[in-house]
Structure 1
Amino acid sequence: MGSSNVIEVNDLNFAQEVLETDTPVLVDFSASWCGPCKRLAPIVDEIAAETAGQVKVVKLDIDESPAATKRFGIRGVPTVVAFQNGEALGRHVGLANKKTLLGLVGR
């Protein structure tokens, strides 16, 4: 599922993969039943490939990871949240283009 550049995260490894890294992280909160999430996936994969080594791109299934979903107030999917040094810097709810998502991590 997805490209090898996108890391699957869940409630168990969210802190380690997202909050405890110095690298900017783009988190794609999605769900398997979500149509717009499926359309967003190739854009997220493209960003992961283009920013490899500069930005960490991860995907989280909200149904499998309710704790992280609740902690960051995710109410609709897809929601993409940018994190830096454990802080949520920006978010975009709904389908977005690559430029909008790269803007969340200052790229």
Structure 2
Amino acid sequence: MTASNDIDTVKEAVKRVLEDSYRARCNDNYLILRVLEEMGFASYDLAKEEFELKLDKNDIEKMPAFESIRRTRQKLQEQGEYQASDLVQENQSVEREKIRKRMAQC
């Protein structure tokens, strides 16, 4: 895949990673690295179990924002797709309730 931060391209890359990796559904840092790999900005060395980012000065502008990757995952999971573990879902629910309570106090 060519490097691009087009929103549809990011969404498709996130979907592919979430379909392939349960771990990525529960860990945003891992998801981000896998999406960067999917989009050609990183590589994974299986022998060393290490990710390597491959960036030149122009790649920074082409690379998707990490927050865009996270939000895409969140929206897909809110639609019932690619669900995380029950524990992760419970923690997310608790955090959403805390935010609602704080917003109600404003």
Q: What is the TM-score with the length of structure 1 in the denominator?
A: 0.23
Higher RCO (CA 8 Å, separation ≥ 6 residues): 1
Scaled by the length of structure 2, the TM-score of the pair is: 0.23
Instruction: From the two aligned structures, give the one with the greater strand fraction.
Output: 1
Larger C-alpha radius of gyration, 1 or 2? 2
